Structure 1
Amino acid sequence: MNDYLKNIIRNIPEKPGCYQYYDDKGIIIYVGKAKNLKKRVSSYFTKNHDSPKTRILVSKIKDIRYIIVDTEADTLLLENNLIKEFQPRYNVLLKDDKSYPSIAIRNEFYPRVELTRQIIKNGSQYFGPYSNVPSVKVLLEFIHKLYPIRTCSLNLTPEKIAEGKYKVCLEYHIKRCLAPCVGLQKYEDYNKDIESIKEILKGNTNLVSDRIYNQMLEMAEKQEFELANELKNKYLLIENFKNKSTVVSNINYNIDVYSYDEDENSAFINYLNVHNGAIIQVYTFEYRKRIEESKEDLLGMGIVEMRERFGSKAKEIVVPFYPDLALEGVEYVIPQRGDKKKLLLLSTQNVRQYKIDKLKKAESLNPEQRNIRILKEIQKDLNIKELPVQIECFDNSNIQGTNPVSACVVFKMGKPSKKDYRHFNVKTVEGPDDFSTMREVVYRRYHRLLEEGSPLPQLIVIDGGKGQLSSACESLKSLGIYGKVAIVGIAKRLEEIYYPEDSIPLYLDKNSESLKVLQHLRDEAHRFGITFHRNQRSKSQVKSELDNIKGIGDETKRLLLKEFRSVKRIKAASQQELEKIVGKHKTLLLKKYFEDKSN
């Protein structure tokens, strides 16, 4: 796998969809579907394949494209549409060394409708091939629910039926067949059902549902309510079948769908070609902007390009806005609801994904580009003057009022710079006073930087609300750098961003990269501060008990704690146990200290 393919696979989304493999001539050689596009496509290049045909396929892959859809069910339908349209050679050669299944309407007096893999030229009619056996079975089940046609393999010629050789079977008793074998269903009625089934398999479901609906109204007018209810159930069944998918929709005519997105340098256009309600072509492309082209101009250029390239003659084009292009005999539609709106949203989803993938590919080749983009986003979201190349964040830790400490973490180019982290033992504050602590450590940090002539950060982040932020600002004012460095506070509860002297907080989008960087800063400062606080508290607990005993040095203390694990256990140890570790003289010192303390 070359770097070009690696870069594509690295940025494929973990979403349902269809993927297409292209050879060095730009021809589609394989179409597949996946619940998770990234995992499925990656597996072709990371696994050892037993099948020589699969290994040959992988060796011929020179480009990969994909189409994301809303549901897993849509991947089956879209894959089938694409295979029928492009007939990729490896879709036939692979897949269990079998051809794809088709649905056959047998050339019989009472035709059967069944799944088959063998195409026999005997006058039977075939629909397909379909890429997935389960999807074919679902379609057949739907047909048999809608129309109770026979499933048996009896030779139902008029002569055999007239001879009375057959009897009704279980299918008749459970109302899944109307028993043409004994003459209980007329030939004309049976073949009307077969004609409707053919229309469904052609994709003309609207025609069938309209016919059933009219029959239902007719039966209701005649007050044949049982028949009307049966027709109503059939109508609802076929409507549910039509409405369950975006890829195969209620639209039974040819339309083109376009969507548009852009960034500073490029315009992106996605094109869907819908034929008889099925998507058969999806293509996304990019225009590099030149001077001051409007999005209306660019969309118009894209429409002309796609109509020429794919030979589209669609009389209706679905668009997100009206292009600056008039085409004779063509109507532009901006849908507000319904199937066309769903198709436009699907196209929009794909053009946005293309834009994201392009950005990820560029950033994977140049990681610094991504960091600068994120810093620009922070600069824009927080409305600060300078690009925040260096950001510093402060957090206080004083659990239960003991050992108050503070931490300062430093991010450079959006990434932690751990060598620049600093922690502070609070000197002028006693007890849990967050405001005074923040005032002290911010003053100490920037007083030192100013003395050393070190560069100041472009952004300071205070972990806390308005009170902690105000205290930090007081220190900056006393140092004469207030206003020269941007400073904000981030509150924990709702992730509010506070500005100095402004009571109204800013709320960033929960998914924005700016907020993620600020959260990472805050969490890293909290982690660093808590770790330092725990170490200080542990030292203080040990010191108060052992370091105050004259004659007990660091090595003796280390041996005691290694053996007994805690001061409490050292107190409870017997004289013999202690003597084994530190000798008789130091044992006497320990015992005397603990006895005096208890008295």
Structure 2
Amino acid sequence: MTPELVQKLQQLPRKPGVYIYKDKSGKVIYVGKAKVLRNRVRSYFNKGRMDGIKTFRLVTRIHDLETIITDSEMEALILEMNLIKEYKPRYNVNLKDDKSFPYIRVTKEAYPRIFPTRKIVKDGSRYFGPYTDVRQMRGLLKQINKIFSIRSCRLPLNDDSIKQKKFKICLDYHIKKCDGPCEGFISQVDYNSMIDHVIHFINGHDKLVVHELTQKMQNFAQKQRYEEAARMRDRIKFIENFQYKQKVIVDDSKDRDVVAVAVEDEDACGMIFKIREGKIIGRNHFFLNGVMQDDYSDVVGAFLKQYYLKADFVPREIYLPAEIAEQEHVQLWLSEGVEYSVQLIVPQKGEKAKLVSMANKNAKLLLQEMFLRKEKLKDKPPHAVEALKRDLFLDKLPRRIEAFDISNIQGTDPVASMVCFVDGIAKKSDYRKFKIRSGDTPDDFRMMHETITRRYSGSLTKSMPWPDLILIDGGKGQLNAAVQALQEIGKGELAIISLAKRLDEVFMPGETESYYLPRTSSALKLVQRLRDESHRFAITFHRSLRRKRTAVSELEKIAGIGPAKRKALIKFFGSVDDIRQASVDDLALVNGMNRELAQLVWEYFNVAH
């Protein structure tokens, strides 16, 4: 704990408000509210009251603290919700990013338009959603366009432009999909009345719309405006047909939402059933972040507050699977924007409890589906691996690829490297180095033959799985040497190719001509990465051996420094240059060295030379 944080803890006020925890980088990691800030914040740092791994992880990452004093607990509640929405702190339960979910937008124009959007613009338009089920939203818009004659054009319509006859009716008017506001065939009052009906329809208040349309139909009929009356009649029929398809699950006409939350380990799914006039008109679900050993009621409360913070409609009754903290305050907050008192109810039995149970089963099902999708993604190979199988006509997916390269300078310090990629990602624990044993003459083919033989016939076969594809850095000669080695040890069935540095030619066994992977292919990029990584690994190993050999040969010239001490010096300093720059005191620190020997070494590099 920093001194600044200790000082802030000592100066905490005894007032309601919001506290914000930040990590070393200044990032907000948790937002909370308190009736008394001093008591609540200090409780986090009381080791005896540190409940659970989540609190422990949070406290160990707190580097700074900020508090905001509010006039009341209600104000603190609202501020907390808005800050969580803004910062999405890691240790708060919050909805996963819902920016991709669409809304239905009703524009704020003299003659409003209605269309789907994924972007919220603060221009006075009304937004309904978000819709987590895009098919449901499209079906609703399809019904709206079938029942109501809403304009689809983007014309800047107003009373002046209509009076000046700037625009002409389009095909939509002739096929009765629009009432022609552009030429004044429908008044602004009547058009906006129709928009009100659409909004009621979106909110599931079908009976209210039918009632108002019936009154209009009767008024038109009394005035002998039979064509307009017929239009109202058709709209009523469409709505009634739509209602017929919806299942009635509650006998009364109250608006209510059913909330459920399924939690498993650190994942959760929140579900909302929207019940309007006794029918389920839709459902929304959201996956939650930041669930780590939280009480179930806390997760329910967090989901409830975040959902209704941006909801387009709050019903009179909301059924919950469990009581939440500060339930009365939350009810008051929910009631602020409506003309009625919102009730949070935890049903214990009967039809209401069955509704909560049904919503909970759906939430659990969606959570399990998410787990299955994650597992499938884990098992699904990357596109580059699939492309490599396709482009090289391989029998199976090359999920495990082992690549080999040889490195030497005129036969000195010859080494080989093997790197391994699994699903396109380097698996460094399976990298291997080989010191070539078969002579010092520069024969890359013989060296590759030895390396392949040692990898696929020795002890490595017991500790490592067989590859799906072997990649040799080199041309036809290196490939033939590797193929011969595989055949000699009875592993000729392993898939193998080589990639030449020049022009990135691919050679395959039994083929006289080289093969070129498409330049834009992700498969080519994958084998290039493997080739380059095997080359890097080989050259790094070769250079380290060469440095050690050079150091040994130089140290052999110093009388009194035997093999054990030479080895210890090289191990301690790493190179001749580092030994040359070391002081007598530094040299004396090496195991087996004393000050007299250290002086000899120092004089060799700094006096004699």
TM-score by length of 1: 0.39
Q: TM-score, normalised by structure 2?
A: 0.38
